[in-house]
Amino acid sequence: MGCRDVHAATVLAFLSGTASVAGLLAAVLLPNWRQMRLYTFNKNERNVTIYTGLWIKCARFDGSRDCVIYDPQWYTAVDQLDLRVLQFALPLSMLTAVSALFLCLIGMCNTAFVSSVPNVKLAKCLVNSAGCHLVAGLLFLLACAICLTPSVWVIFYNNYLNRKYEPVFSFDISVFIAIASAGGLFFTSVLLFLWYCACKSLPSPFWQPLYSHAPSMHSYASQPYSARSRLSAIEIDIPVVTHTS
């Protein structure tokens, strides 16, 4: 496997990262992070479920899809610590993952469309595709950690709310979407790391730096002269005659 070829691993990593970012976007926008179900013992009334998201809150009667109470300003008055942390963590995770996708795309385009021997004048400005994939894998791993930690915390915080108040709280589908997206980001980073480790023959440096000059110039470097090379042509061409008794 060579670093100068576009492989299925890098394409699959890019597609997996894109799907994970789309999942994070859905988790951020959906108002389904926590449910609070309110029961009534009056037969003439219906139970109410309050859906709490990161930005809005919606209250619905059982069997209805319309919001009886819709609060679009909920993001300014969030009184639950885990949701407040998620308001900052998930957008930051998305930004990190998008940056990783951009680097991964640059690496693939550089691999596919740039010649193997760079121009000497532009050598210092060239982008190393393997280095792009390595940094992208690190960013995907960072985005996974930023997303996964507060998303799992929602589950434990939900149990805390049930113990503190009443057992009416439950986490909703956005928690599973965020955790699955974090798993996708981790899978993407693993793919890029595996590709980076397999695309070079061992032993090799862990990090491929940017080109300081064109690789073709390495083969023309002057070699040190030996002691015999400094001899004159006459001295070299003189045959050695030995006398035998």
C-alpha–C-alpha distance, residues 104 and 113, integer Å: 14
C-alpha–C-alpha distance, residues 38 and 47, integer Å: 6
Stretch among 3-12, 101-110, 196-205 having the lowest mean pLDDT: 196-205
Residue 204 phi, psi dihedral angles, 5° rounding: -155, 155
pLDDT at 146: 94
C-alpha–C-alpha distance, residues 31 and 49, integer Å: 12
Please answer whether residues 67 and 58 qualify as being in contact, where contact means their C-beta atoms are separated by less than 8 angstroms. yes
Residue 168 belongs to some domain of the structure: yes
Number of domains in the chain: 1
Stretch among 26-35, 110-119, 172-181 having the lowest mean pLDDT: 110-119
Please answer whether residues 17 and 3 qualify as being in contact, where contact means their C-beta atoms are separated by less than 8 angstroms. no
How many Å separate Cα 16 from the centre of its chain? Answer: 10
Residue 242 belongs to some domain of the structure: no
Residue 41 belongs to some domain of the structure: no
Global pTM value: 0.72
Who contacts 203 (Cβ-Cβ below 8 Å, separation ≥6)? none
Give yes or no for a cis peptide into 72 (omega within 30° of 0): no
Residue 228 belongs to some domain of the structure: no
Residue 128 belongs to some domain of the structure: yes
Q: What is the pLDDT of residues 16-50, one digit of tens each?
A: 999 999 999 999 998 888 888 877 776 667 778 88
Any idea what the CATH number is for the domain that residue 13 is in?
1.20.140
Q: What is the pLDDT of residues 197-234, one digit of tens each?
A: 776 554 444 444 334 334 444 443 444 444 444 444 44
Question: Which range marks the domain in which residue 136 is found?
Answer: 6-31+78-114+124-199
Residue 241's beta-bridge partner residues? none
